[in-house]
Amino acid sequence: MIPSLHSGVSALKSLTQGLQVLGNNISNVNSLGYKSSRANYSDNFYQHINDAEAGGDGQPSSNVLSHGTGVHVGSITSDFNQGSIEVTGLDLDLAIQGEALPNAGGFFEVIDAETGDLFYTRGGAFEATTAGFVVTRDQYQYQLQGVNGPLSVGLEDDELLLARRVEQTGVVNLVVSKDGKDEIRSPGQVKLVNFQSPQALKRVGNGFYSNGGAGQDLGGILDNAVPASGSNGKIKQYALELSNVDLTNEFAAMISHQRSFQAGSRVITTSDMILSEAINLKR
């Protein structure tokens, strides 16, 4: 009965991890650019009591005896499908439109100006600092990267900002008034990054992904940084991408996990009862 206890315990441990994944998805249903995860279960190694063997006459034996040892979480995969787009009206709110493209069109690249660490995100809530750099709208203030380095929308001397426009190709245009005349100039272009294997990216929280430390390229960066070209999506200004979590599917999976958890616990209690009966036979 010990193997059955092990199988039941492995079910409870694995399903607990799966519930953790579901709970994290549900808790981030309103997080900007969040991508849902899924726990993939696999059976454990098998104990082979009797394997198939060829007899003296060359005929194989069909008396194969083996049993499994439970279940484990084989992997946790991320769903990079595009979430719904919400219009906000803020000029530095940017969303990536690339639902039919690989990995939904790529990621924004941001940099920690103090350490030089690069991160990737689908949450396009940005703002401009007094120095003119475009940074994430959170406590980190990571700088948004343009095709030619950190993106800046700073003004020159005697300029008055009238509007900021971001094209689908990522080109940023500033409408400014200088010496009584309206002018349009382009200080840079938003950079997008796409990966050959996005599942290899590491989640680091706050909607950011890491491609590894210095010298590492876990996801395999594709050589294309221009939006609306190749496998990169288009930039949509005045909008943000929301989470792609489907609450209906998550609640259905939660109910399934709950029933499976109850069945696994029943295996443990039943095995314990049988062991108790076996022990009592000697008394």
The series of mean pLDDT values per 10 residues for the chain, 283 residues long, is: 83 96 97 96 82 63 75 95 95 94 93 95 96 95 96 91 96 93 94 95 96 92 94 97 97 96 93 85 70
**20 phi and psi, to 5 degrees?**
-65, -40
Query: CA-CA distance, 177 to 183, in Å (whole number)?
Result: 6
So what's the pLDDT on residue 39?
97
Query: What is the pLDDT, as a whole number, of residue 102?
Result: 83
User: What is the rounded distance in angstroms from the CA atom of residue 171 to the CA atom of residue 187?
Assistant: 8
Half-sphere exposure of residue 205: CA atoms within 13 angstroms, side-chain side = 3
CA-based nearest residue to 139, from 214, 236, 207? 207
**Which pLDDT belongs to residue 261?**
95
Quick one: pLDDT at residue 157?
85
pLDDT at position 67 is 76
Q: Which pTM value belongs to this model?
A: 0.88
Nearest CA to 29 out of 198, 248, 205 is that of 248
